[in-house]
Amino acid sequence: MRILTLAALLLASTAPALAQTAKVAPVLTTPEAKDVWTYARPAEARVTHVDLDLHLDFAAKTISGVAVLDIEVAKGAKEIVLDTLDLNIAAVTNENHVKLSHKVGPKDPQLGSPLTVQLDGAKKIRIAYVASPGARALQWLTPEQTQSKTLPFLFSQGQSINNRSWIPTQDSPGIRQTWSATITVPDGFVPVMSGQMLDGDKGELVPHYRRKFRFRMDNPVPPYLIAIAVGDLKFKEVGPRTGVWAEAGMIDAAVSEFADIEKMIDAAQALYGPYRWGRYDMLVLPPSFPYGGMENPNLTFFTPTIITGDKSNTDVLAHELAHSWSGNLVTNATWADGWLNEGFTTYFENRIMEALYGKERAAIYSDLDYAGMLRDVKNAGGEAAPSTRLRGEPGGDAGQLAYLKGSIFLRTIEVAVGRTRWDAYLRGYFDRYAFQPQTSAGFLADIRTHLIKGDKALEARLQLDRWVYQPGVPSNAVQVKSATLAKVDAQLAAFNAGGPASAIDAKGWQTQQWQRLLGNLPRQQSAARLAELDAALGLTRSQNAYVQSAWFDLAIANRYEPVVPALEEYLTRVGRNLLVTPLYRGLKAQGEWGEPIARQIFAKAKPGYHPVTVGGGDANPRPEVT
């Protein structure tokens, strides 16, 4: 397969850029909106649009080509600063191909290197470059690592600050940008992106047995939402505005599992206003995808681990869909305010689930979230631990509590003011800040203006600042309890009192009931008791990846040798952070017993893991709970 030389990159992308039609999104300038995860100085010069013309080389595992950036420059500014990570910059020119002076600064392990360009009056700059074969956002899979075993596969994971490893731009959620792309791949491959596909799944045949595909996103988005996947992909419609991309062997199961997505969109729109992104298609990736889902506009990425045949994990669909409002439409300006994405979305997800499946199904998720919040606060060091604040430190984010504590905060407001009033406020909030960044301070100012309206008693009752800026769980936190999980708790109590595992009636259980049982069993169990559980409930041979992960976690805590072969098979098959990272941590905690097992399995499994998983999430501030 052919790779462009650096010199040839200057001549790439000679076609005119695709039209940009959306208005420029504002950049916030308040102190709370300062993003320490970017080198950019957007108040001086900022990117408004990115046009990519890129060539993929699977043999070299490189993406190469040209990025043309439209920029907005403040009066007196002479340079623009971009974010890059291990990009080989061939040249930087203006729109007339005149060279611009530029410098790549020192590399920080997490932030990468600043690319400073002297503008000389340019309003558009062209950057010819090659991304490193080890680009942090990208995973290149061999045919053997895919389901079809026919073609290699590529996919990206941009959140939080990984896209700078394949796109030179200002990689900050507060600097929203429209984008367009021309992607050239070998004949036989199909690329998909998180924007409108302009040429269908056949593309345009070009010399050297390659095909060219064009994409466009007219709404300004945070850069982490620019995503790509390329492989032996097929498409199947789910509904008039939805469909599934996947390898052929997975597509029918995915379509069946995702059959309720059109109803979910209807429910979401009824709650908080129109879906503003056109189509809502879904991509099922190979098992190495590190998250449950990633809310890339127009094309949500999903792990195959949520496809269990019983739709018990459709909360992940609801969660990623909800991001079309909370996160994609209104975005945290910095990752310290990640709860504005994930807390809002977890709350919204629950409302979608209630609308489709009833109050008890929603109560199951709320009950689990409340228990998870208390567990996370305890594990963080207790009520006074700084990491339990919703608003995180400037150099980080709010962590897992961004999801759980954030959603319970919003539930508490709902109960205090009434659902009708709360829903009207939220719908207005999404309208007021559509396609804009937001901060915690901005949200609190807005809710005081449009909901509290000077009501001092309501202000005191809600404890807004206590929720956002103080650690621990405020006294007014609303807990929703599930009757379904109460029955699981009763069976758990009977087993813990010495009852037989055979008395646990798990018939018809879905993922959440298994999680309640396995997550609350005492961590110390005898080998005989573990064998009894496994024999009665078929845990080791479960086809549910969530159940297996929770079971292996318990078994590891007790150094239960019989599960080790199945554990190795699991860890070499599944690459989702949520499911595999706790198992490696558990093995490591077991010292001389577990560490050798962990090292042996990881050495075998590492080639199938995304760089985010290999790095333990260190390069990616966003954790995952869905």
Give the residue numbers annotated as catalytic, written as ranges. 320, 403
Q: Which helix (H) or strand (E) holds 125?
A: strand 124-131
* Distance between CA atoms of residues 231 and 246, nearest Å: 9
Closest CA to 474 of 375, 381, 408: 408
Closest CA to 217 of 207, 232, 227: 227
Instruction: Find the DSSP H helices in 168-260.
Output: 248-257
Q: Is the CB of residue 304 less than 8 Å from the CB of residue 292?
A: no
Query: 461 vs 306, 333, 373, 391, 474, CA distance in Å?
Result: 39, 28, 21, 20, 11
* Distance between CA atoms of residues 535 and 556, nearest Å: 17
Two tokens at 282? 């879904």
Task: List the beta strands (DSSP E) in 321-383.
Answer: 330-332
Question: 373: burial class by Cβ within 10 Å (0-12, 13-18, 19+)?
Answer: buried
SS (H, E, C) 481-522: CCHHHHHHHHHHHHHHCCCCHHHCCCCCCCHHHHHHHHHHCC
Q: 16 CB contacts (<8 Å, ≥6 apart)?
A: none
Q: 344 CB contacts (<8 Å, ≥6 apart)?
A: 322, 325, 326, 327, 330, 406, 407, 410
Two tokens at 341? 């994405």
* Distance between CA atoms of residues 138 and 154, nearest Å: 7
Two tokens at 407? 């959603």
* Distance between CA atoms of residues 162 and 612, nearest Å: 9
Q: Is the CB of residue 152 less than 8 Å from the CB of residue 58?
A: yes
Q: Is the CB of residue 244 less than 8 Å from the CB of residue 235?
A: yes
Q: 566 CB contacts (<8 Å, ≥6 apart)?
A: 540, 541, 548, 552
* Distance between CA atoms of residues 197 and 181, nearest Å: 10
